[in-house]
């Protein structure tokens, strides 16, 4: 296959069966391999869409500075697109994210502003909003509220899934900005009204929930509860266990958020199996495992890995 | 047997610092009312006149109760309820 530029390679990712993890021929799990995007994560889709939208509406012009709160993948995707389109990038990133992400961003020439570990991405969002107010010439694409984020999935991820799996009954993805679930979910629901749209969200250690006040809570502007059928909270221990299971059973080296998604997917599969219903469950594999090796997620016992992950943002 | 309710750091001032408390009830709403009898003011932090407060997420055995009927979600002995503030969390 031949492409003119790396940007043309975004999307069109493969859907692969997970026969060893599927409970029966009637209840099947499928993995949408988003790690096959140019920078290795699903975020290439939204980076390309958000930048194209900002160029179209005139917010971005050559040499502009893009600002974004990101714990890593979006930053790396934006860094790649910005590099190719001629923009500078400043990322606001929580200090408790993996070294690989920081090093990759620096390699792309992005500037990183670190936000305090306590509060996780909440704090990164707050700092980025402050910086944006102080620097009106910087362009904050703001993935949590940017319609182009959800639209990228409505126009690409959703149609790709339906084309590869017309019999789809469930779609499971990480919650994050909610863009993946909102966009893909809306598209699939229009085409298959009975489809279940299921969110899997990481449950972190207490540090990440260290708000001073409940009113400091955060819900992404893109989030529309009515798109979802259910929403699961998955502990670090379960996410890690499933990430390893994915590797050991199906040979897939996925990031830890995919373990989170698999955990929810297996619960849905067991439910369908028990009810004697057919199911084709698509799991969104947001990225590969390579960027998380330094977290120790893949080595030693599960308990050791869990202890090492405490206080880190793993998804 | 009872229902275990895990309390986030930010609300432990209402539970004498306890990370986890126990209560009873047939629904989530009844469970919260039961807890409020012993932990004064806790319920008010979790719910308002419209139901669960906007930035409060409650999970019944790891599933978001907003998709299980909210305060009328049935609960039973041996269940675990986890209360967490809504935060931006991780990925992105």
Query: What is the pLDDT tens value at each position of chain B, 92 positions in all?
Result: 699 999 999 999 999 999 999 999 999 999 999 999 999 999 999 999 989 999 999 999 999 999 999 999 999 999 999 999 998 764 44
Give the per-residue pLDDT at A302: 87
- Contact list, B64 vs chain A (CB under 8 Å): 199, 230-233
Give the per-residue pLDDT at A311: 66
Instruction: Please indicate whether, in this complex, the C-beta atoms of B87 and A125 are within 8 angstroms of each other.
Output: no
Give the per-residue pLDDT at A315: 60
Residues of A recognised as catalytic: 43, 257
H or E segment to which residue B5 belongs: strand B3-6
Give the per-residue pLDDT at A297: 87
- Contact list, A71 vs chain B (CB under 8 Å): 90-92
Beta carbon pairs, A and B, within 8 Å: 119
H or E segment to which residue B59 belongs: strand B56-60
Record the tokens describing residue A302, joined without a space: 């599960």
For residue B90, give the nearest of A120, A219, A233 by CB distance: A120
Q: Within an 8 Å CB–CB cutoff, is residue A142 touching chain B?
A: no
* Per-residue pLDDT reduced to its tens digit, A61-110: 999 999 999 878 999 999 999 999 999 999 999 887 778 888 999 999 99
CA closest to A258 among chain B residues:
B91
ipTM attached to this prediction? 0.92
- Contact list, B59 vs chain A (CB under 8 Å): 233
Question: What pTM was estimated for this model as a whole?
Answer: 0.94
For residue A121, give the nearest of B62, B64, B92 by CB distance: B92
CA closest to A207 among chain B residues:
B9
* Per-residue pLDDT reduced to its tens digit, A20-41: 999 999 999 999 999 999 999 9
Instruction: Please indicate whether, in this complex, the C-beta atoms of A208 and B57 are within 8 angstroms of each other.
Output: no
CA closest to A263 among chain B residues:
B62
Give the per-residue pLDDT at A314: 64
Give the per-residue pLDDT at A210: 66
Give the per-residue pLDDT at B41: 93
Low-confidence ranges of chain A (pLDDT < 70): 207-208, 210, 212, 311-315
For residue B82, give the nearest of A70, A220, A233 by CB distance: A233
Give the per-residue pLDDT at A99: 85
- CA–CA dist A61, A83 (Å, integer): 14
- Contact list, B87 vs chain A (CB under 8 Å): 119-122, 208-209, 211, 217-218
């Amino acid at each position: 296959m031949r492409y003119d530029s790396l940007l043309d390679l975004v999307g069109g990712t493969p859907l692969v069966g997970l026969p060893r993890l599927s409970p029966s021929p009637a209840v099947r799990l499928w993995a949408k391999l988003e790690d096959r995007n140019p920078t290795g994560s699903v975020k290439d889709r939204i980076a390309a869409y958000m930048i194209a939208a900002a160029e179209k509406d005139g917010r971005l012009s050559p040499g502009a500075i893009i600002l974004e709160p990101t714990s890593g993948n979006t930053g790396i995707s934006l860094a790649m697109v910005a590099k190719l389109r001629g923009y500078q990038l400043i990322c606001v990133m929580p200090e408790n994210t993996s070294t690989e992400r920081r090093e990759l961003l620096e390699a792309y020439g992005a500037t990183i502003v670190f936000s305090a570990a306590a509060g996780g991405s909440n704090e990164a969002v707050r700092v980025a909003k402050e910086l944006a107010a102080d620097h009106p010439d910087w362009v904050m694409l703001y993935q949590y509220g940017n319609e182009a984020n959800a639209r990228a999935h409505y126009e690409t991820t959703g149609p790709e899934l339906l084309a590869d799996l017309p019999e789809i009954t469930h779609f499971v993805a990480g919650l994050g900005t909610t863009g993946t679930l909102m966009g893909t979910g809306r598209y699939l629901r229009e085409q298959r009204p009975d489809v279940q749209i299921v969110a899997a969200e990481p449950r972190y250690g207490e540090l990440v929930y260290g708000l001073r006040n409940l009113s400091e809570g955060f819900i992404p502007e893109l989030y529309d509860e009515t798109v979802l059928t259910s929403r699961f909270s998955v502990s670090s221990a379960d996410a890690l266990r499933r990430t390893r299971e994915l590797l050991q059973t199906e040979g897939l080296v996925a990031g830890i958020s995919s373990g989170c998604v698999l955990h929810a997917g297996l619960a849905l599969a067991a439910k369908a199996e028990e009810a004697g219903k057919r199911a084709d469950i698509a799991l969104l594999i947001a990225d590969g495992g390579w960027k998380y090796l330094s977290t120790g997620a893949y080595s030693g016992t599960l308990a050791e890995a869990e202890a090492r992950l405490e206080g880190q943002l793993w998804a | 047997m009872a229902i275990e309710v895990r309390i986030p750091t930010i609300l432990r001032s209402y539970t004498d610092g306890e990370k986890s408390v126990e209560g009873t009830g047939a629904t989530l709403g009844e469970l919260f009312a039961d807890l409020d009898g012993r932990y004064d003011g806790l319920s008010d932090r979790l719910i308002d006149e419209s139901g669960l407060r906007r930035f409060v997420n409650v999970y019944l055995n790891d599933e978001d109760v907003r998709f299980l009927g909210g305060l009328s979600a049935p609960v039973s002995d041996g269940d675990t309820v986890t209360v967490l503030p809504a935060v931006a969390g991780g990925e992105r």
